[in-house]
Structure 1
């Protein structure tokens, strides 16, 4: 995906939905889609080099990773009523994921989340 090519977010969501179709309950897959789209959108808006998505599904959990190529960690942000929809991505991830975090890489970082009980 290229920088700010936000049209790619729908493609990534569709690919995740297809991947999880027989691996995860529909409700968990919907949450995964929502959180993935938030993290991918952040990566595309805030970096210049696109993003790489990796998804693994096991019997107990789904793990989604979005790697970008900028080392700046996501900053905590508390949106206010005047922000519209801006700033709510990581709030959703914190609220809906069973675990999440940011892992530094030699070049860039990986923002990841896990959903448990998906098997």
Structure 2
């Protein structure tokens, strides 16, 4: 059975074009000097004491910001995404979601929205 760290590594290997483009802009503290992590697991304890892992596409600990690049699969996961966003926001995290097309075609606008949420 694959562990969470190996699974995150696998996700990084299978990134979408939009994730690749956005990561190029976020990595190495390029955006506002903030450190972003890619496909980094966040652990949450369930009501039953079980560890649950959520793996955002991008995460900035300093700004408590999660960024998601939503592709076509998210059309079928709306309820899951809504619940996941609720759990993460209950942890004090802010979630920004961008469609893949938005990232690919309007990168400057996407980066502007991210910068506004880094404070």
TM-score normalized with structure 1 length: 0.32
TM-score normalised by L of structure 2:
0.32
Q: Looking at both structures, which has the greater relative contact order when contacts are Cα pairs under 8 Å and sequence separation is at least 6?
A: 1
